[in-house]
Structure 1
Amino acid sequence: MARAWTLQDAKNRFSAVVEAAQRGEPQHVTKRGVDAVVVLSAEEYERLTSLDMRPRRSLVEHVLDAPVLPAGFEDVFDDRGVYPSVPRDLDLFG
């Protein structure tokens, strides 16, 4: 389980902080009551930094790669019917 240490406690018991991190338990260290750092095992750090979190393609590239519609389908998107709006009475203060 992750544990929170004050900076002073982490300095005084650094071996315990490292051992817990090596067991797979991230160790949070605070400075003046505010989270400052997290100590991780080297294995966990390598796992996290090796992840490729970048998107493979941009949105523009994705849209430009969309398939072209077959001939005759253009009319499907251009058929915008006109829908008349009918006003109605509303009592907003009633």
Structure 2
Amino acid sequence: MTDRITAPRTLPADDIWTLASAKARLSEVIDRAQAGPQVITRHGKPNAVVVSADEWARKTARNGTLAEFLLGSPLRGANLELERVQDAPRDEMP
């Protein structure tokens, strides 16, 4: 394709689309997103990424709660000594 730009190091050139090209060939962008991320550029810079719904669900799935994450921290029980800054309170906003 002549309207594609140079690909970032991590993606093949076929996975980079200009905004105009992506708009004109949206079905193809979506079909190709099933195999891997498709980058859409605006003014020559990456602006958006289209991924499959399965990939999005996998990337955004929660792996436990915040409490579980903090309890599993390797720093738990490290007896860190932290000092709190005792600054004056901020002025109230009008």
Q: Please say whether Structure 1 and Structure 2 have the same fold, judged by a TM-score greater than 0.5.
A: yes
RMSD: 3.0
- 1:64 shift after superposition: 5.9
Higher relative contact order (CA 8 A, sep 6+): 1
Which position in structure 2 is the counterpart of 1:57?
70
Deviations 1:12-35 (A, max 9, x none): 00010000012x211000000111
Note the residue ranges of structure 1 that are not aligned, 5 or more in a row.
66-94
1:25: which partner in 2? 36
Instruction: Point out 4+ residue stretches in structure 1 off by more than 6 angstroms.
Output: none
Gaps of 5+ in 2: 1-10, 80-94
Q: What is the distance in 2 between the residues matched to 1:56 and 1:16? A: 40
Pick the structure with greater CA Rg: 1
Question: How far 1:51 sits from its partner (Å)?
Answer: 4.2
**CA deviation map 1:46-78 (0-9, x unaligned):** 00000439681176x70268xxxxxxxxxxxxx
TM-score by length of 1: 0.56
| Count of residue pairs the alignment pairs up | 64
